[in-house]
Structure formats: C-alpha cells, structure tokens
Amino acid sequence: MQNKRLNPFKIAQAQLDESVKKLGLAPRIHRLLRKPMREYRLTILVKMDNGRIKRFKGFRIQYNDARGPCKGGIRFHPEETIDTVRALSAWMTWKTALVDIPLGGAKGGVICNPKTMSGGELERLSRGYIRKIFKYIGPERDIPAPDVYTTPQMMAWMMDEYSKLKGYYCPGVITGKPVEIGGSLGRGDATARGGIYTVREAARHLRLNTKNATVAIQGYGNAGSYAAILSREILGCKVVAVSDTKGGIYNPDGFDPHSVLQHKKKTGSVINFPGAKSITNKDILELDVDILCPAALEYVITKQNAPKVKAKIIAELANGPTTPDADKILYNNKVFVIPDFLCNAGGVTVSYFEWVQNLSNFYWELEEVHQRLDKKMTRAFKDTLNMCLKGKVNMRVAAYMVAVSRVARAMELRGW
C-alpha cells in the first residue's frame, strides 16, 4: 500500500523546503523551521472497567511559538504515530500564520481505540493526559482542542482537570468545549464554513457561477456533511455525490444533504440512499463535477489518479489529501487546488475566537462569529492568491510562502 509508506512529516518538511528556497530565507532560519521546538512523550496509566491498569502512549508536540501560544488538537487514534503528530503540528504553525492569528502550532495524540472504550475509560484517559502535560500547557502557553475521535465532552473533562490542578476555573486552556462552559457559538460547522468561504473566493477568481455548480464530497463526517449543507445554502451549489467509509452515492440531479445526513444517522452510512446510484470512494474523486471536496483521509489523490480528476476546484477539507506528485499534475492540468491548511483553517480560527472570548469573559453572538470568520478566511485566500500569481507557483506553495515568511519574520524580530 503506497499511502501507508508515506511519512507525513517528511512531506511537511519537503513542502517547507520548497517554500524556503523560493523565499530565499537564511539557512539558520530554515534549520529552526524544519523541526519542532519541543516534544513530550507520555505514558498514561488508566484503570479500565475490568479493574486492570492499562498503559497508553501519548504525545504533545509544540512546533513553533514565535507568533504566540501554541495551538492544536488532540487525537485519540489506534494508529497514531509521532511523525503524524509532528507533521500536523507543523501544519498548524503554518495554518495559524496564514490566517494571521497570534498563535503558533502544536498537536497531541494518544494511541488508543476510543470505539472500544467506555465513557468512564475515556474520561479517565482524558484526565490522565492532562495531568501528564499540565506543566506544559495553559492559556498563555499551549491551547489544545478536539481532533480525530475526540469530542467537546472530552474537552470539558480536560478543562475541568486542568482547572482542578490550577485551583480555579480556567476555560481558556482548551477550545472546542460545549457552549455551556465557555465554548464559542459557530464552532460546530466552522471548518466547513471556512472552507466554503474559500470556495466562494476561488469561484470568483475563476469566474465560475456557483448557482447549481456540481459538488462531490468524499467523507460525510462533521466537516463533509456541513460542507454539503453550506455549499447549497451559501453558494447555491448542487450536491451530486457523497461518500463515507462504506461507500458512496451519486445522483446527477442532486440530493438534499440534510436527508442524506438523516439517512446516515439512521443506517450508519450514506449507502443505499433512496434514488441514488452506488459509487466507490475511488470513483467519487474522478467524477465530472465543478467542485471536489476531499474531507476524509490523507493521500487519496495521488500521481495515479490525479490525471483523471475532472473537477475545476479541489477544496481540501481533510489534512493532506493530495500527494506532492499529484500536486504538480493538478497544477499542470489547471485544476485549482485550495490547500488544506487554508481550506480547513476555519476550525482553528473559531477556536481562536473561543480563546479570546474566554480571556475577556465576553461572548459573541453567532452572526458576529460568522462575520469575523468570513473576514479572516477571505483575507487569507486573497493573500495566498496574490502570492500564487506573483510567484507563479501553485496555491499550496503560495500558502506556505505567505505563512513561512510570517513565522520567519517573527523569529527575526524576536532575535532568534
């Protein structure tokens, strides 16, 4: 399996190297940017429901904090690796810089299978993780958030554990919390909403009318389902294909994303949705649609299938869905790619809004969250597009160049 052999951190470093070369940054700055500033490896002991003590391995990596406190999610996954966490912490660094919020990049993870654990076991693991990293996080140092297989409830437990250790209520230590205990309105659909704002801007640039423009979405989880709903509500698009881990559905006349979501909640999958034709996850990437949204796994667009991609716009809601080889092919074929750490930056942007609200103890209305998110995403898209046109590079390299130059400048100003 080719995708299994790809090392995400080496890919992240290669992407950085290309942007550094084009920016002409000094070697000393390049060396500092290539590796995380701090890595913590953890062993967490948890009492399981059967009375046995189980040992879990965990990580927290703080990649760069030149522009502000580190920020990044916590993943609970059975196949978590330190190189995945390293890569994601690097991408978080570039993501926060690209949308120009005063934060750095971090990521955390625990090797576990949450699907086989009880609520009590997950709570004890969540609290145990915080006890291990308590000294290294905080509202002024590192602010975690939910990620793969972690939830607002887990963030609530983690915030509570940190508050107990500090001795006072401290909601600003973590974002993605339930609204009742300091979470922000608008966080639930923030990743997809931010992505749809960038699709709108890409369509304007390409002079593509989004009214009835066709959309295919690989992955119908939180980001994918909201992307389907919002593409129709905000842009007037027609969703013609969606998929999940069990397969996909296709109807050239389109279907109602809400109905598909209800069908998935009832049956466990989008497959067998009434009036739709079955399609594979592989085939959905090659459909003749205007907008393709990979919103599930990494490295699904490769040099093998990139020549078959017919979409005009690829909106990468997933992290790392396109390999570097595929990037070159898509660019040459004039497929407009909105790179992941621009397209899916809506989540961290609203997380930043949550942190700001926690620190000020003043909370915003939903409309204000949406307006501020739109402004941040639109500006980030325009900054990236300007670099793309000026440097005659693809959008991913352009996004790196904008972000890396901002981090490098902060390091220089601070005397690093």
pLDDT digits 0-9 by tens, 164-202: 999 999 999 999 999 999 999 999 999 999 999 999 999
Question: Which tokens sit at 220?
Answer: 């119908």
The DSSP output letter for 377 is H
Rounded to the nearest 10°, the torsion over CA 68, 70, 71, 77 is 170
For residue 115, what pLDDT is reported? 92
In this prediction, residue 2 has a pLDDT band, given cuts at 50, 70 and 90, of: very low
What residue spans in the chain does CATH classification 3.40.50.720 cover? 190-343
Which residue type occupies 376?
K
- Sheet with 105-111, strands from edge to edge, namely 38-47, 53-64, 105-111, 70-77, 142-146
What residue spans in the chain does CATH classification 3.40.50.10860 cover? 35-174
Q: Cβ-count burial of 288 within 10 angstroms (0-12 exposed, 13-18 middle, 19+ buried)? A: exposed
For residue 1, what pLDDT is reported? 35
The neighbour count for residue 391, using CB atoms within 10 Å, is 15
CATH of 190-343, one of 3.90.700.10, 3.30.200.20, 3.40.50.720, 3.40.50.300: 3.40.50.720
DSSP-derived 3-state class of residue 276: coil
Active site annotation includes 107: yes
204-213: average pLDDT: 97
Active-site residue (options: 10, 22, 57, 107)? 107
* C-alpha distances out from residue 47 to 54, 63, 74, 121, 165, Å: 6, 31, 21, 7, 20
Tell me the C-alpha distance between 235 and 347, whole Å.
20
For residue 5, what pLDDT is reported? 63
CATH architecture of 35-174: 3-Layer(aba) Sandwich (3.40)
Tell me the C-alpha distance between 182 and 171, whole Å.
6
In percent, the amount of the chain with pLDDT more than 70 equals 99
User: Does pLDDT of 222 surpass 60?
Assistant: yes
234-259: average pLDDT: 97
Tell me the C-alpha distance between 357 and 182, whole Å.
8
Does the global pTM surpass 0.85?
A: yes
In percent, the amount of the chain with pLDDT more than 90 equals 94
